[in-house]
Chains A and B, each alone.
Chain A
Amino acid sequence: MSIDWIISIATENWEMFLRGAWMTLLIATLGTVFGAIIGLLIGIINTIPKPERGLKRIVLKLINIILGIYVGFFRGTPMIVQAMVVFYGAAQAFGVDMDRTFAAIFIVAINTGAYMAEIVRGGIISVDKGQFEAAQAIGMNHWQTMIHVVLPQVLRNILPATGNQFVMNIKDTSVLNVIGVTELYFQTKSVSGNNFRYFESFFVACILYLIMTFVVTKILHYFEKRLDGPQNYQMIDDLEQVEGKKA
């Protein structure tokens, strides 16, 4: 019976499974966080106003071109290939043996960063031009406008897409078994290599992946709701009445 096998595999190897799941979650979480930061930085750099001429313009143009190549490269190639290139490339070129976990987080982060750069760009565009102009009209400079008006809205706008990326990363870290990180897929492969029960072993992994993505999705939804604040505002009279009753 499969069910019995699944239960016995899960109970006998729970430590390996959990360690794998933990590693998967660690890589996906840190990769998403750093990736989101990379994406935000790129999005912000792209908004810096370019002067008509001069060195600053040339430098900014150059940076934009380099960032464009970065985004194009990492969106245009599979992560599994990037992992091989980065990990073995670093070993060959610099003679360094990267820590596998570090390499995994690094790859997920730069990969996510490339996607997030586009998402952030969309998030900034979706803040209407009128708000930029209103901020300028009260004398705010570019950075004040970005920090106090634009970025808070961008962060809210990109939250669903970031959550989506997080869920994808939880699943996609499985390809990183090619560089030998001990994430959930890697651990499951080891387990099934010992017992030759491929279906049952991977069924356990399947459940674990599902739990992780489900919980993460729920947590992110909760955050979105929290950020949006209360649906209705309270008029000041009402507030005073409420306070009055409390007193």
Chain B
Amino acid sequence: MIASKGDRLMKNVIEIQHLSKSFGTHEVLKDIDFSVNKGEVVCVIGSSGSGKSTLLRCINLLERPSGGQIVYQGENILDNNHNINNYRTKLGMVFQSFNLFNNLNVLTNCIVGQTKVLKRSKSDAENVAMKYLKVVGLDRYINAKPHQLSGGQKQRVAIARALSMEPDVLLFDEPTSALDPEMVGEVLKVMKELAGTGLTMLIVTHEMEFAREVSDRVVFMDKGVIVEEGSPEQIFNHPQNERTKAFLKRTFKQ
């Protein structure tokens, strides 16, 4: 019994139960049950306004959920006395608009969270940051300020910054949507490489080819609910639900 519970805890990085979120009277997420397993790459797809960003933002508490539970390491982090900042260090977040710290250079962007929040020593933090800047191919750019970089480079720095905290799971909210078409590839390439290393990733994306290629599981959302989830093969080739079919038809016609 104890062993099996332990196994489950090991497997589930994060488990969401009956999660709901309303803005005023507008119910954006409705009774969402959902979990991310260790080492899994999950892509969330769905039309605009279906609540994908809100789901991610609820998971790392940038939005306060209206109801339900978020279970991390066996504890409901929505309990009042839970240390939110500590929990957040376990989740990395990559935003659509990069959101690099404009006053800091590339290296310091990747260091500041490590030294100030995780209390790592400066030299440890620098080593970790350099390691991940190498992963995203920007170790030569450590002296650059964000405004001196292209969009694709900024997003790769943002990925390195999130990785430098060595989180349990990395959340991506449409990481390539704000990029010029010629820069989408370099960011997706980095993400594919990360997926290959066994990193746990939860990715909201409109890049269907990418989702098909990297996902272990695809989640389709519509109007605040999870309509269907399954392997990329199931969702893209044999969707069961009419709403999924309609969405894919619309998407692939374009």
A1 within 8 A of B: no
A241 within 8 A of B: no
Q: Which of B95, B105, B117, B143 contacts A134 (CB 8 A)?
A: B95
Cβ of A134: which chain B residues have Cβ within 8 Å of it? 93, 95, 99-101, 158, 161
A137 adjacent to B148 (CB under 8 Å): no
A237 adjacent to B89 (CB under 8 Å): no
Tell me, in angstroms, the Cα distance from A149 to B108 when the chains sit together: 11
Tell me, in angstroms, the Cα distance from A10 to B53 when the chains sit together: 71
Cβ of A156: which chain B residues have Cβ within 8 Å of it? 103
Cβ of B11: which chain A residues have Cβ within 8 Å of it? none
Tell me, in angstroms, the Cα distance from A127 to B86 when the chains sit together: 25
A233 adjacent to B144 (CB under 8 Å): yes
A148 within 8 A of B: yes
Cβ of B104: which chain A residues have Cβ within 8 Å of it? 148-149
How many A-B residue pairs lie within 8 Å, measured between CB atoms?
87
B97 adjacent to A138 (CB under 8 Å): no
Cβ of A128: which chain B residues have Cβ within 8 Å of it? 99
B230 within 8 A of A: no
Q: Which of B101, B139, B143 contacts A149 (CB 8 A)?
A: B101
* B interface majority secondary structure: loop
A144 adjacent to B117 (CB under 8 Å): yes
Tell me, in angstroms, the Cα distance from A99 to B10 when the chains sit together: 71
Tell me, in angstroms, the Cα distance from A131 to B102 when the chains sit together: 8
* A interface majority secondary structure: helix
Give, as a whole number of angstroms, the nearest-CB distance from A192 to chain B: 50
A232 within 8 A of B: yes
Tell me, in angstroms, the Cα distance from A152 to B103 when the chains sit together: 7
Tell me, in angstroms, the Cα distance from A142 to B104 when the chains sit together: 18
Tell me, in angstroms, the Cα distance from A229 to B148 when the chains sit together: 12
A140 adjacent to B102 (CB under 8 Å): no
A133 adjacent to B99 (CB under 8 Å): yes
Tell me, in angstroms, the Cα distance from A138 to B95 when the chains sit together: 12
> Of residues 135 to 154 in B, which have CB atoms within 8 Å of A's CB atoms?
139-145, 148
> Of residues 101 to 128 in B, which have CB atoms within 8 Å of A's CB atoms?
101-105, 112-113, 116-118
Question: Contacts A138-B117, A140-B116: A236 and B140 contacting too (C-beta < 8 A)?
Answer: yes
B103 adjacent to A232 (CB under 8 Å): no
A95 within 8 A of B: no
Tell me, in angstroms, the Cα distance from A230 to B162 when the chains sit together: 27
- Residue of B at shortest CB range from A129? B99
Give, as a whole number of angstroms, the nearest-CB distance from B126 to chain A: 13
- Residue of A at shortest CB range from B145? A233
The interface of chain B, by Cβ under 8 A from chain A, is 60, 62, 85-89, 91-93, 95, 97-105, 112-113, 116-118, 139-145, 148, 158, 161-162, 165
Q: Can you list 14 residue pairs at the A/B interface with Cβ under 8 Å?
A: A130-B98, A131-B99, A137-B91, A138-B113, A139-B85, A139-B165, A140-B117, A141-B85, A144-B116, A144-B117, A149-B104, A149-B112, A233-B141, A233-B144
